[in-house]
């Protein structure tokens, strides 16, 4: 009997020890999405997380693959900002600003991927407008007012962030580096300082569609500096864009684009900013020897740029300041332009210093007549002046909203390049 009992007891103990014990714990250092930080929503497309203050915006980086809707203007208070997304944990969700602004952005700590969003991969940022400053002197890469590096979509957004990173490459007013992306109906107005591949709107783009966008801030750097784009190539498309800011470069610089390489299309774009660089071009600074481009209907102002030559021998034309303010000039190059505001481009007396502007800027013009190039020139405010910024646009809700911040200072994946450019530098 004793041996039988012992066997039974032993068997029971064996069974007890075989029962699995499940222990749940959060790994050390794991990122946790705290949904309680948001004003509402569940993070889905139909019910996005609602962002209404800095705390909620900071939580976006921990919920990188979710969907977000900004419900009001947010002031970051000029307190150091940690960008949303990096090389290890990029943002890959959808952020819809719904026409609201984010002001008081401040970044003084150096490092790669600097901007409101550090790195976006296969994500979307739209209808958001950011103001503030990014300033540091240590060598870094991918610095932009809105996005440091983008693989994805940015639409209907603007930046008046003052960007100063003189030792950094891939620096832009809106975005630093852009690959295999789509950018449309967006603008930048802040001044930009970088080292190489520096642009008023974006530092460098490849395999990307850039349409109906512009920049007006001054741009300066060492090499490959452009009023709109620093570097451009690898199957990219640039259509219906313009740049008004001055360009200063020690080496290559152009009124619209600093340097072209590989293949792409550039059409119906113009530049008027003064250019000081060598080599230089009123529109394009330098076209690489092996470049295979389709370039057509692009113009630069010979008088204001100070240049009568361009880096491209085809598809770009220098015209006088008076010509650049005539509707007939642009019609002769096949532009979709008139005074009605029903086409892609519009030109009006007393608006945008009489140069063409994009209808999508939404300037709320009540009447428009063709400019008279013979009248005295209009005073051009500085790039930090509210009077030169577009005032309204249309958001996803159909309401009018500010498309450019008044401050002190669709996915076209032509070729999805999974190569992480940040790792190659």
SS3 112: coil
- Pairing of β 223-226 and β 182-184: unpaired
Q: Which two tokens stand for residue 265?
A: 């299309």
* pTM score: 0.83
Q: What are phi and psi of 96, to 5 degrees?
A: -110, 110
Count CB neighbours of 392 within 10 A. 16
For residue 132, which of 142, 144, 141 has the smallest C-alpha distance? 144
Give, rounded to a whole angstrom, the gap between the first and last alpha carbons of the chain.
78
* Residue with tokens 């139909």, as numbered in its chain: 46
Q: Sketch the domain layout of the chain as residue ranges.
A: 28-72, 80-419
Write out the chain's pLDDT in tens, 425 residues.
444 444 444 444 444 344 444 444 445 556 799 999 999 999 999 999 999 999 999 999 999 999 999 999 999 999 999 999 999 999 999 999 999 999 999 999 999 999 999 999 999 999 999 999 999 999 999 999 999 999 999 999 999 999 999 999 999 999 999 999 999 999 999 999 999 999 999 999 999 999 999 999 999 999 999 999 999 988 899 999 999 999 999 999 999 999 998 889 999 999 999 999 999 999 999 998 666 889 999 999 999 999 999 999 889 999 999 999 999 999 999 999 999 999 999 999 999 999 999 999 999 888 899 998 776 554 443 333 332 333 333 333 333 333 333 333 333 333 333 343 444 44
CA angle 255, 415, 293 (to 5 degrees): 40
Instruction: Give the C-alpha separation, 118 to 175, whole Å.
Output: 10
How far is C-alpha 209 from the chain's CA centre?
Answer: 12
Q: In this structure, what DSSP letter does residue 48 have? A: P
Specify the CATH class of 80-419 in words: mainly beta
Instruction: Give the C-alpha separation, 259 to 23, whole Å.
Output: 57
* Residue with tokens 């250092």, as numbered in its chain: 29
For residue 76, which of 130, 127, 135, 154 has the smallest C-alpha distance? 130
Largest Cα–Cα separation, the chain: 120
Q: In this structure, what DSSP letter does residue 177 have? A: E
Asked if 189 and 173 count as a contact pair (C-beta separation under 8 A), the reply is: yes
The helix (H) or strand (E) run that includes residue 327 is helix 327-331
């Amino acid at each position: 009997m004793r041996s039988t009992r012992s066997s039974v007891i032993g068997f029971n103990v064996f069974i007890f020890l075989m029962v699995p014990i499940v222990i749940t714990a959060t790994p050390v250092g794991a990122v946790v999405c705290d949904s309680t930080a948001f004003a509402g929503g569940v993070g889905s497309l139909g019910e996005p997380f609602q962002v209404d203050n800095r705390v909620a915006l900071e939580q976006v980086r921990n919920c990188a693959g979710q969907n977000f809707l900004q419900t009001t203007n947010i002031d970051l208070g000029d307190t150091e900002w940690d960008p949303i997304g990096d090389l290890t944990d990029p943002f890959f969700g959808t952020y819809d600003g719904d026409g609201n602004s984010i002001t008081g952005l401040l970044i003084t700590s150096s490092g790669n991927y600097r901007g409101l969003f550090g790195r976006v991969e296969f994500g979307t940022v739209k209808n958001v407008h950011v103001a503030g400053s990014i300033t540091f002197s240590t060598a870094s890469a991918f610095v932009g007012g809105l996005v440091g590096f983008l693989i994805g979509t940015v639409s209907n957004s603007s930046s008046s962030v003052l960007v100063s990173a003189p030792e950094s490459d891939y620096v832009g007013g809106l975005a630093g580096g852009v690959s295999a992306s789509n950018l449309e109906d967006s603008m930048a107005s802040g001044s930009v300082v970088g080292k190489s591949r520096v642009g008023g709107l974006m530092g460098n783009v490849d395999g990307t569609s850039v349409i109906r966008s512009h920049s007006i801030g001054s741009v300066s750097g060492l090499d490959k500096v452009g009023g709109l784009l620093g570097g451009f190539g690898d199957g990219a498309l640039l259509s219906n864009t313009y740049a008004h800011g001055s360009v200063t470069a020690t080496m290559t610089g152009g009124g619209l684009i600093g340097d072209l390489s590989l293949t792409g299309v550039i059409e119906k774009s113009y530049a008027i900013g003064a250019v000081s660089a060598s080599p230089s071009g009123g529109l394009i600074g330098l076209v690489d020897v092996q470049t295979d481009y389709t370039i057509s209907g692009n113009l630069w102002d010979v008088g204001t740029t100070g240049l009568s030559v361009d880096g491209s021998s085809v598809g770009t034309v220098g015209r006088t300041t008076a010509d650049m303010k005539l509707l007939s000039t642009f019609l002769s190059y096949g532009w979709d332009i008139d005074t009605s505001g029903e086409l892609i481009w519009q030109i009006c007396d007393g608006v945008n210093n009489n140069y063409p502007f994009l209808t999508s800027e939404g300037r709320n013009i009540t009447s428009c007549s063709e400019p008279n190039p013979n009248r005295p020139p209009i005073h051009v405010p500085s790039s930090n002046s509210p009077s030169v910024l577009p005032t309204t646009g249309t958001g996803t809700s159909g309401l009018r909203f500010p498309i450019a911040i008044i401050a002190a200072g669709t996915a076209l994946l032509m070729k999805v390049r999974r190569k992480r450019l940040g790792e190659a530098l």
